[in-house]
Structures are given as C-alpha cells and as structure tokens.
Amino acid sequence: MQLILNQAHYEVLLRETIPSARRFVWIATADLKDLHVAGPGKKFRPFLADLADLVEAGVDVRLIHAKEPGPRFRKDFDRYPALIESDRFERVLCPRMHAKIVIVDGEAAYVGSANLTGAGIGAKSANRRNFEAGFLTRDPDTVGELMEFLDALWIGDHCLKCGRRDVCPDPIA
C-alpha cells in the first residue's frame, strides 16, 4: 500500500499509473472538471487527450461521476472523437457518487479524496491545489472488492431502490 499526498496524486496517478494501462481504466469521482497534464514539448494538454490516447490504443475506459462537468471540460471533450465515437469509452452520471477511485487493469487501485479536477489531481502548483490524501494498492483482494463495488454501480444494481431517482438525469436501470 502506497500513501499518496497532495502533488503526488498528479505524479502517481496521472503520469504513472493511468498511462500504464493496457486493458482498462475505471475512474469514479464526485466532481469532474477540466484538468491538464504535461504533454510533448513541455506544453500542457487536457487529461482527456491521455484518455483518448488510451482508447485509441485499445484500452477500455469507464468514467462515473456525480454531476455534469463544467463548460471547459465539455468543450475539450468534444475535441476528442475517440471519446465520442468509440465503444471503448463509457461515461455514467450518478448523483450519489462521492467515491474517488481509480482502477487500472484489475491490478492497481487508488482510493482517496482527490476528485478528477485540476485542484484535486491535476497539474496545479503546490500553492493552488487542494490538500489531498489517498492510497494506491496492488493487493488483489482489495482491488477485487473495489472492482465489484464499482461494477455494481456501473450496471445499475442500486438504481431501482435509489432514493435520488428524482434528480438522476439518466438512470442506468
């Protein structure tokens, strides 16, 4: 188990763990905003570009989040056809989602406080980012339990009994 604090979220999750995916990446977050990562030539680019690159390389990406992303995220999203047209990218909105989880290839899992935002795990300066804490594990039992947890949410196991259906824009079941 690896403790991840503050800026290390960016390095460990966005620069190392997620880009190493070969089969799938599952991401759960409450908040979803435009965030950037270092790209070629020391320029920054939207993290969505990294997700599009993964999809184009044959990696399946699932993203579950609690509310509609902001306008900059939506504008950037539209720039990546692989995220719109490919069956390898799926996105679900669940107003009850508050967990922050990343699972890569069923081999590594992050659980912590960081949302998929610039201030949470993006490339922000230490003086402008949120204070975040989490853990990365490669323990097969823990990763397996987190996969079962997210998969149950993904397929809508909780939808029919959900007390928030009245505010859910797109119930799964």
* Domains in the chain: boundaries: 2-167
Comparing 169 with 5, which gets the higher pLDDT? 5
Distance of alpha carbon 44 from its chain centroid, rounded?
19
Within 20-171, where are the H helices?
A: 47-56, 71-77, 81-85, 140-154
User: Would strands 133-137 and 2-5 be described as parallel, antiparallel, or unpaired?
Assistant: antiparallel
pLDDT tens per residue across span 91-142 = 999 988 999 999 999 999 999 999 999 889 988 777 888 999 999 999 999 9
Quote the tokens at residue 48.
């969505």
The topology under which CATH files domain 2-167 is Endonuclease; Chain A (3.30.870)
- From the list 132, 111, 89, 114, the residue with the least C-alpha distance to 30 is 114
pLDDT score of 89? 97
Average pLDDT value for residue range 134-163: 93
Provide CB contacts within 8 A for 113, sequence distance 6+.
100, 120, 130, 132, 133, 134
Classify the C-alpha dihedral 152-157-159-161 as positive or negative.
Answer: negative
- Would the pLDDT of 172 be above 80? no
- Would the pLDDT of 157 be above 90? no
pLDDT tens per residue across span 9-55 = 999 999 999 999 999 999 999 998 889 998 888 789 999 999 999 99
* Helix/strand/coil for 63: strand
Q: Give the 3-state secondary structure percentages of the chain, helix then strand then coil, rounded to 5.
A: 30, 25, 45
Average pLDDT value for residue range 64-80: 90
pLDDT score of 158? 84
